[in-house]
A = this chain, B = another copy of it.
């Protein structure tokens, strides 16, 4: 029930192949392995060992990759912190995860105040000591932990095991194919499953990663056109910007370019048509942190025939609709497969993530007669904004703590730029200003979660049992 250490094995089997490139620099698999071993030695010198749980907060740069790979060599669990979160949000996760150390990219050091912080610059200055990388990885060993919110608004730390990541990489390969010369453009955050899964695929496939610290539409368009990359992960709004650049320059994708993987909800048909005109096959995916990325994928060829569908499961996975008897019956989407997390850590550690072997996603959907999945309602009225998941409950919880707020309801509003953005409706108990409330949010929430519009209303739409009707809220927009 083990894998050979992916870093060592990849360096042994294809050490000369390009593993990572960033701006003008690049590293082979044996070079990144050597760097990872050096970081493992530095981390060991600082007291980090196999049993440690380590949080990491960094921009998506090569050093982040090497530090993570050092942690993988040691076999410690990595809590991936989202650099866009507010200080209080980060503090919650660090506390919940009970981490031993926090490795922090120097440019982000203002974000966390803790005696457990070890800055990247400190790592650079540390002399590595001798350490033995783990030869074998247990399949059920937790490699990464990512926080995701939900109905309660309390983020939950999701365990992602070696087997979760391996299954995910393999299942994707069985769907879209792999070739030794593939290079994946990564400009989605490495602390998200969307970016982290690209690194896992890199190690498992022996595939090169072209890393960007931030999404850059113009450079992405150029790389796709030049064929210097073969794949790219993005969300709908990013796709639109890449397409605009390509249209402006009147260029097509290189024949070497194979596919875009698009997450975060259905891609508008208009984008799909423009992508086809640019020669870019777009695969729409449905997945979540609890399934280490994609679980179903809609092929480019089916996109116009099955508008709005999330496609079919990958080979190792099964998707059913709870209590559905016939095609088209709506119900909760249930997922089974080796990509499903074994569970949470921290205060949700006791919560069963699976019932009867199925992950209950909380999302509502149906399967059509051919077995294509359609997601009708995302769990907890999830708002997907520029690829980030936002749970209304998180924002509501913050606003409810303001002394002037009696009731609050949050929902998503359509946005040209971000797909969706959060908007809030509040009922006041005493006088205050909208500006005051927004500043209050800014202090406690990541910028992307701060409502883009906040309206004061007399009452919120509720049903007989007093449950907030978010669908009604959306009708107010």
User: Once the chains bind, are A371 and B12 in contact (CB under 8 Å)?
Assistant: yes
Q: Does A155 make an interface contact (CB < 8 A)?
A: no
Given the interface pairs A179-B179, A318-B4, the reply to whether A312 lies near B13 with Cβ below 8 Å is yes
Q: What's the least CB distance linking A411 to chain B, in Å?
A: 35
Contacts of A404 in B (CB 8 A): none
Given the interface pairs A179-B179, A371-B12, the reply to whether A174 lies near B316 with Cβ below 8 Å is no
Q: Does A195 make an interface contact (CB < 8 A)?
A: no
| Majority-rule SS of A interface residues | mixed
Tier of interface size on chain A? 20 to 34
A293-323: CB near B (< 8 Å → 1, else 0) gives 0000000000000000000110111100000
Q: CA of A206 to CA of B3 in the docked complex: distance in angstroms? A: 25
Q: Does A177 make an interface contact (CB < 8 A)?
A: yes
Q: CA of A177 to CA of B13 in the docked complex: distance in angstroms? A: 14
- Find residues 394-445 in chain A having any chain B CB closer than 8 Å to their own CB: none
Q: CA of A12 to CA of B312 in the docked complex: distance in angstroms? A: 9
User: Once the chains bind, are A316 and B3 in contact (CB under 8 Å)?
Assistant: yes
Q: Does A178 make an interface contact (CB < 8 A)?
A: yes
A-B contact pairs, 23 of them (CB 8 A): A3-B316, A4-B317, A9-B315, A10-B315, A13-B312, A13-B313, A13-B315, A170-B170, A173-B173, A173-B174, A173-B178, A174-B204, A174-B205, A174-B206, A176-B180, A177-B177, A177-B178, A177-B179, A177-B180, A178-B178, A179-B179, A204-B315, A206-B315
Interface residues of A (CB under 8 A from B): 3-4, 9-10, 12-13, 170, 173-174, 176-180, 204-206, 312-313, 315-318, 371
